[in-house]
A and B are shown apart, each in its own frame.
Chain A
Amino acid sequence: MRVGVVTFPGTLDDQDAARAVRLAGAEAVPLWHADHDLKGVDAVFLPGGFSYGDYLRCGAISRFAPLMEELIPAAKAGLPVLGTCNGFQILCEAHLLPGALTRNAGLHYLCRDQGIRVENNTTAWTGQFTEGQEILLPIKHGEGRYVADEATLAELERDGRVVFRYIGGNPNGSLNDIAGICNEAGNVVGLMPHPEHAVEELTGAPSVDGRGFFASILRKLVTA
């Protein structure tokens, strides 16, 4: 199985993302922002960082990258895509996911280990979790406050597209405690927390709950 890991100028967690993919037993394929080439990967991981320095607006410039011109139609056609942090912001800017991520309510960048509840285990990236499972993942962002208009929120809630919710305190003021969402088909998932920083005992967060994301996608690809 081949999982693409995208690097934009200013992407930071690409090394971690690639490592997490490898540890799960898949091949991590580097994808370069300036190429019109998805290299035939089976799934794509958009990692966090400050692509283009977060200039203009987080993710606003990245969505126009040549690679995104390939990725957007592929995702609409069902290619599994996971965006974390800046990757989530890019997915929203690219309209693959609804809503937007705005400045944290506390106005500070916040790095902490955060409790999260898995609300939907039917997406491409959450199949190995149980519904309602509580996991621990790091968050690290200044602009992770999820907002959307009332109709969109109601739709997300009604259709079970709120995939993750913060528990034990909302760190950034996200509406409905939303930590992550998916598209209608469930192949595109975005979340602010970082599963790739919670896959090893020795390093990163004091949890290996991030492994579930990679186990889920591999399982999905194998059985597909």
Chain B
Amino acid sequence: MTVDSVKRASQSPDEHMPYAELGMKEDEYQRVKEILGRRPTGSELAIYSVMWSEHCSYKSSKVHLRQFATKAPASEALLVGMGENAGVVDIGDGWAATFKIESHNHPSYVEPHQGAATGVGGIVRDIMSMGARPIAVMDSLRFGGLDQPDTRRVLPGVVEGISHYGNCLGLPNIGGEVVFDPCYIGNPLVNALCVGLLRKDQIKLATAPGPGNKVVLFGARTGADGIGGASVLASATFEDESHAKRPAVQVGDPFMEKLLIECCLELYQADVVVGIQDLGAAGVSCATTELAAKGTGGMAVDLNLVPLRDPTLRPEEILMSESQERMMAVVTPDDIPAFMAICEKWDVPATVIGEVTDSGRLVMTWDGEVIVDIPPGTAADEGPVYQRPFHEPAGQAALNTHVELERPADLRATLLQLLGSANLASREWVTSQYDRYVRGNTVLAQPSDAGVLRISESMPGASETTRGIALATDGNGRYAKLDPYAGAQLALAEAYRNVAVTGATPLAVTNCLNFGSPEDPEVMWQFAEAVRGLADACKTLGVPVTGGNVSFYNQTGAAAIHPTPVVGVLGVIEDVARRVPSGFTAEGLRVVLLGDTADEFGGSEWAHVVHGHLGGLPPRVRLEQERALATVLTTAATRGLLAGSHDLSDGGLAIALAEACLPKGIGATISLPGEDTFVDLFSESAARALVCVKPQHFAALAELCARNEVPCYGLGVTGGTSLVVENAFEIPVATLRETHEATLPAILG
């Protein structure tokens, strides 16, 4: 078969190229021709089409995402910001944490197990490529209604995929979310987060400097998996039909990834890596163009040298393959023997496939012919940018109209109904399939509000530090549907609060923005509003966005998912032994509510579960109060005042009280401060937390609250085997537990 070389392309300027089949627009194709001064070869078209895809180029979101930079608060903690594989944050004592959340939504619908598994694998490699040891994962999941048949297909597969891949890698899964809503049927969201640890002065970047340095591809061999349906393959010009039916979902091998992790760490330790990049979306195309663009500017690659799982692969396919567990490194010629020896120790195949040049061109050959000759920056950084039109959805005003819902007379029944509802019931069925203990540094994991990890034993040489890190992810699609600006801010506020209740100080943000089609101006409005809201709130709270991911096209026909910005917050705790556990940890503790409660039920769990209603406005965003609350929580934790704590969010105080009883089976007797018991119990007002303190510490806590202007209400005392709310109800903790734990197993088996 003849290969479409640059020479051939110059000689056949009018040959039709399948750009439209690759999802490229006419004007985008014309731009490629302008850049090259000729038509692209098939391989060049493969590169541009994937690099300029929405997924890789952020062409619809870029103009909005810029706000994360322009509005970024001043932060001394931020070491590496957006634009790298993951952000890096200074956590003190010479150590840094790198973390990022990324979506794998569409593959997880098509093939739940492999889709979710490779989502974990991809984000872990992003973290590795920063020079870090991955130390934990989390996942934020959304499915259709719990009672919808397809949920029973998708959910077990997704959970098993995350479980198998993450467990096999030896990374503890320390938390996340599982949310059910019919809007996600056909469009489940699988957002995976990974956090890694590295010495502050040993950050690695995706760059290929130094002409003469070698380009090494290492890890798994390249196969035909992960090549999109709408790819070069779909074109009859290049391939016969049998080739075109190959799966578009990648297949993961966590064992190879575990070897890659250990191999990379040893390579870093031996200091034999100049630049490094993982191979994720767009595979070799992405790694070569990005490395070259950020380095000296040129690279020469012999594609025949890429080790293949399937020897019949064509160069276009090699360029587009998304085979998992591969990395690309830039290594000086002198270090090549040491590099190869380490790879061999870990049984990781490694091959030199090219070298860095100062030509300013990315040149690739196949069978001795030049098949790619492009300026790498034009593919990596200079993709198209769209100002997509947007406007408020036609029904938005009607959606925001307040509807008075009938309030219950039986608050006991309401609490139990909510506690056993799909979104508030125990996640044990899911989380018990994840290893939360491996590596031995898990201080808190689900069902705690945030995961907390000890640093000192996480890496050699860290034994001196007493520090820990805390991580939480949150998102609320219903709030964002009612008001995407406020919804994104509430997601941030909740994750920020969840980090603070463990005693940690929130430092930085990652986000995964899950939306419908950007070509729908109403969806685009939701996106624009959410990004504006998140950027503004990050500025107010003083926590910069370090990176993240946008997932568009979560939509079936005209029905988009609720706009779902998922926000991850990372915090640091100076002495991890001071972390505050979740819930009531002993008898005889004073139970204290921090923050004020208003009559706020728009988008609430109560309206959703009891009335099946979504309307009105979400709870008011109270960022200044969030900040003051976080100050109180972290200061009180540092001073050892808090015996337990819990964030108030979905389901309000009632659910927080019930959940606080469960970890140790300790009840409480509560008397509510407000005039309306229903509002006190079920409102979802923001900026609130529940804490318990030894009686002798109550005065100090109250004084601390007063100084920070955080309202503080003594609610009662822990003890006994029931949750007693005076003048309302008494429920045995055993009943709470039974109700909480029965729901998921009843449906999922």
Instruction: Point out residues on A near B: beta carbons under 8 Å.
Output: 9-10, 12-13, 15-16, 19, 49-50, 52-55, 108-112, 138, 140, 194, 196-197, 200, 202-205
Contact = CB atoms under 8 A, between A and B. Distances in A.
B576 interface: yes
18 contacts: A9-B259, A9-B347, A10-B258, A12-B170, A13-B438, A16-B438, A16-B439, A53-B255, A109-B160, A110-B433, A111-B432, A111-B435, A111-B437, A138-B437, A194-B437, A202-B443, A203-B454, A204-B440
B443 A50 contact: no
Interface stretch (B78-86, B161-169, B333-341): B161-169
A15 B577 contact: no
Contacts of A140: 167, 435, 437-438
A110 B160 CA distance: 11
Given A16-B440, A108-B432, A196-B440, 9 more contacts: A12-B170, A12-B439, A50-B167, A50-B254, A109-B435, A110-B432, A111-B437, A112-B432, A204-B437
Nearest to B581: A206
Contacts of B505: none
B454 A202 contact: yes
Interface string B406-443: 00000000000000000000000001111111111111
A179 to B, nearest CB: 17
A-B complex: 4 closest residue pairs judged by Cβ atoms: A53-B255, A12-B170, A16-B440, A197-B437
Contact of B440 (A19, A50, A110, A111): A19
B253 A53 contact: yes
B741 interface: no
A110 B439 CA distance: 17
A32 to B, nearest CB: 9
B439 A15 contact: yes
A111 B255 contact: no
Contact of A55 (B170, B255, B441): B255
Contacts of A49: 170
B713 interface: no
A203 B468 CA distance: 12
Nearest to A138: B437
B346 interface: yes
Interface string B432-475: 11111111111100000000001001000000000000000000
Contact of A53 (B163, B254, B576): B254
Contacts of A111: 431-437
Interface in B166-209: 167-170
Contacts of B439: 12, 15-16
Most buried by A among B164, B254, B346, B435: B435
B438 A109 contact: no
A16 B170 CA distance: 11
A25 B728 CA distance: 55
A138 B431 CA distance: 14
Contacts of A9: 255, 258-259, 346-347
B440 A15 contact: yes
A131 B576 CA distance: 36
B442 A203 contact: yes
Contacts of B347: 9
Contact of B163 (A10, A109, A194, A205): A109
A205 B172 CA distance: 13
Contacts of A109: 160, 163-164, 167, 433, 435
A203 B259 contact: no
Contacts of B577: 202
A10 B454 contact: no
Contacts of A202: 443, 454, 576-577
A112 B432 CA distance: 6
Contacts of A53: 168, 253-256
Interface in B640-661: none
A66 to B, nearest CB: 14
B401 to A, nearest CB: 45
A204 B438 CA distance: 8
A211 to B, nearest CB: 14
Nearest to A53: B255
B139 to A, nearest CB: 15
A197 B440 contact: yes
B532 to A, nearest CB: 40
Contacts of B169: 12
Interface in B318-346: 346
A157 to B, nearest CB: 30
A99 to B, nearest CB: 24
Nearest to B163: A109
Contacts of A50: 167-168, 254-255, 258
B103 to A, nearest CB: 24
A49 B259 CA distance: 13
Nearest to A32: B345
A85 to B, nearest CB: 10
A54 B167 CA distance: 12
Contacts of B438: 12-13, 16, 140
A112 B576 CA distance: 23
Nearest to B436: A111
B338 to A, nearest CB: 18
A204 B442 contact: yes
Contacts of B441: 203
B457 A19 contact: yes
Most buried by A among B163, B431, B439, B576: B439
Contacts of B435: 109, 111, 140
A16 B441 CA distance: 9
Nearest to A201: B577
Interface string B15-28: 00000000000000
A99 B346 CA distance: 31
B2 to A, nearest CB: 40
Given A108-B433, A111-B432, A111-B435, A10 B440 contact: no
Contacts of B164: 109
A55 B440 CA distance: 25
A164 B346 CA distance: 35
A203 B441 CA distance: 6
A140 B167 CA distance: 9
